[in-house]
Chain A
Amino acid sequence: MGAQLRVYKRRIRSVTATKKITKAMEMIAASRVIKAQRKVAASAPYATELTRAVTAVGTGSNTRHPLTTKAETVTRSAVLLLTSDRGLAGAFNSNAIKQAERLTERLEREGQEVEIYIVGRRGVAHFNFRERKIAESWSGFTDEPTYADAKKVAAPLIEAIEKDTAEGGVDELHIVFTEFVSMMTQTALDDRLLPLSLEEVAKEAKPQGEILPLYDFEPSAEDVLDALLPRYVESRIYNALLQSAASKHAATRRAMKSATDNAGELITTLSRLANAARQAEITQEISEIVGGSAALADASAGSDR
């Protein structure tokens, strides 16, 4: 076998092995997307009921609460960025990071200090590499977040927003995550989580203009709101974590699918080249034989004369 042909054969073997791996990763990601989507759906009843309850307190009483009161001048805000722990997900992480950078830039232009909180090793690595300050970060659960994880993330954020701005607290809390629109579309977006605008929540909760009953609050509207709002924030963060996880798996699936497709294409091209090389080798051998025998025939014909 010629040297050229051997090189082609070797490359085909290695690309085939890579293709097998990416194909497996694609299928794993596909099954995880479905699982993650199911978790998003399972968390929906709690979120809906909680939104209803928040709306009920918000519209049924005139309670003020630090989590719903907008600061007159916003001097500092927190940005929570949700990324993943692992890469191989196409532009998933860079899109989320870019969105966070855009938001940070906008807030800084408005004259605010921005504190960044990050979930996921990819985001942490990005900010560490640029030697930017991170207020707090979490990692290790981005593939399958649980409610306890969301609580862990929410606790310092709620604490920061309840603290006075002068003592290092924040006035606003923004979240950047990747919304799972469909298998093919995931969009990175930012959202203001706090202070909560009760009107917007109310609009979300009852699109058909239903009238909420007058509730009896137990023990009191203030206490209920006090207990309710942190839970609401946690549930929003939980939902964002789940959506990010689903988006990440969908992005991985797509990235791995195109890797598999590319490997397949590469194998076709390489096989064609290998075939051509083999054919060239054969042609050369034949012409050598023909040339050789012609030379022999010529030589013997010469000696006859």
Chain B
Amino acid sequence: MAAELHVALVAADREVWSGEATLVVARTTSGDIGVMPGHQPLLGVLESGPVTIRTSDGGTVVAAVHGGFISFADNKLSLLAEIAELSDEIDVQRAERELERAKAEGDAAAERRADVRLRAATAR
């Protein structure tokens, strides 16, 4: 069995996902970062973007994360986000509508949020 790390993906108001994983890829302000078991202790600022978690049973969990932090120590990884949604929680049609509306109104932040949701939903 490969080495594992414990992942906790928590949003401000709930724990979104937690479990064992072999690889976590997230987007920090200075670029994408992949964390595997035994990584050096790390604390980084996350950008809005999809987070990919490869679980130890071979599955993949994708979540849309809007802002937050990644912290890793003692083989425990926490992803803190103000808003986080798992890809299967995302309502694709609603996100598409949001994207169009945001584009029409020129709301860059809303556009990025909708875009991240869509990318996470399609990466499933």
Contacts and interface: CB of A to CB of B under 8 A. Distances in A.
Contacts of B40: 216
Given A147-B12, A219-B29, A224 B44 contact: yes
Interface string B67-83: 01111011000101011
Interface string B14-44: 1100000000000011100100000011111
Contact of A235 (B12, B28, B74): B12
B105 interface: no
A53 B74 contact: no
B13 A218 contact: no
A147 B83 CA distance: 9
Given A53-B71, A212-B73, A42 B13 contact: yes
B108 interface: no
A224 B43 contact: yes
B43 A216 contact: yes
A45 B17 CA distance: 12
Contacts of B45: 218-219, 223-224, 227-228
A287 B91 CA distance: 83
Contacts of B69: 50, 53, 224, 227-228, 231
A235 B13 CA distance: 10
Contact of B33 (A42, A46, A218, A224): A218
Contacts of B14: 42-43
A231 B70 CA distance: 13
Contacts of B28: 218-219
Nearest to B41: A213
B110 interface: no
A218 B33 CA distance: 10
Interface string A88-127: 0000000000000000000000000000000000000000
Nearest to B68: A231
Contacts of A234: 12, 82
B92 interface: no
B102 interface: no
A45 B14 CA distance: 8
Contacts of B71: 49, 52-53, 56, 215
Contacts of A215: 41-43, 71, 73
B10 A46 contact: yes
Nearest to B14: A42
Nearest to B39: A216
B13 A46 contact: yes
B11 interface: yes
A147 B10 CA distance: 13
A217 B73 CA distance: 12
A218 to B, nearest CB: 3
Given A57-B43, A212-B73, A219-B29, 14 more contacts: A49-B78, A52-B78, A53-B43, A53-B80, A147-B83, A150-B12, A213-B41, A215-B42, A217-B42, A217-B44, A218-B28, A218-B33, A228-B45, A231-B69
Interface of A: 39, 42-43, 45-46, 49-50, 52-53, 56-57, 146-147, 150-151, 212-219, 223-224, 227-228, 231, 234-235, 238
28 contacts: A45-B10, A46-B11, A49-B8, A49-B10, A53-B80, A56-B43, A56-B71, A147-B13, A147-B83, A151-B82, A214-B41, A215-B41, A215-B71, A215-B73, A216-B40, A217-B42, A217-B43, A218-B29, A218-B42, A219-B28, A219-B29, A219-B30, A219-B45, A224-B69, A227-B45, A228-B45, A231-B80, A238-B13
Interface of B: 8, 10-15, 28-30, 33, 40-45, 68-71, 73-74, 78, 80, 82-83
